[in-house]
Amino acid sequence: MTDPANLREVLDRISETATGRPRVTLGAIIDTVGRRSYGPVLMIIGILLFSPLSGIPGVPTLSGLLILFISVQMLVLSGGFWLPELLMNRSLPTEKLLRGIRFIEPAAEYVDARLHPRLVLVVRRPGSYLLGGVCVLIACAMPLMEIIPFSATAAGFAIAVFGLAMVSLDGLLAVLGLIYTVTIAGLIAVNML
């Protein structure tokens, strides 16, 4: 199976996997989008963090651990990634997952129409090391984001942008995501002082 080429294809694959089941596991979703694809998995985690779920206590920290686990593997492994069975067996109600996918489908079509491969060196090696490093830093800051309002949502947006940039091979989007991340980190640092 080839890696998904855009956001719509990621959503379609997840929908196909989930349909007909009462619940769908994280493992089934990851197998659907491909274990060699760091981008779709980071994008999915980012979208979940960008949603109101990031306001639930513990979700930012758990998401941060997942981002850290994947990002470190992105930095040190050349093949696909591995997740513990405990995480892979976690499941979501299919109805809620499909409702969320239907909600973001119009935005996915809009985004896909504007993204295309450019500045590919930013999202492929060696540039992907920078993205992986930034994702590690964001992941390490996630427990702190439990107490700073809306910071986990902002971090989720950055992770989703990096994942989407990797999926679409759009290095310009990755650069914009890096600028956004530095700006938000600066604003949070200034407000904490």
Residue 191 pLDDT:
73
pLDDT at 53: 67
For residue 27, how far is the Cα from the chain centroid?
15
Look up residue 154 and give its two tokens. Answer: 């902002």
- pLDDT for residue 135: 92
As a whole number of angstroms, the distance between CA 14 and CA 90 comes to 15
Separation between Cα atoms, residue 33 and residue 71, nearest integer Å: 17
Res 136: pLDDT: 92
CB 66 within 8 A of CB 82: no
Per-residue pLDDT for the chain (193 aa), expressed as one digit of tens each?
677 777 888 888 888 888 888 888 888 887 887 755 788 888 888 877 877 766 677 778 888 888 888 888 888 876 667 777 887 787 878 887 788 788 878 888 888 888 888 888 888 888 888 988 999 998 888 888 777 777 788 888 999 999 889 888 889 999 999 999 999 888 877 877 7
Given phi > 0 = left and psi -120 to 50 = alpha, else beta, which region is 183?
A: alpha
Listed by start position, the domains of the chain span: 7-192
pTM of the model: 0.79
The DSSP secondary structure of 108-120, one letter per residue, reads HHHHHHH---BSG
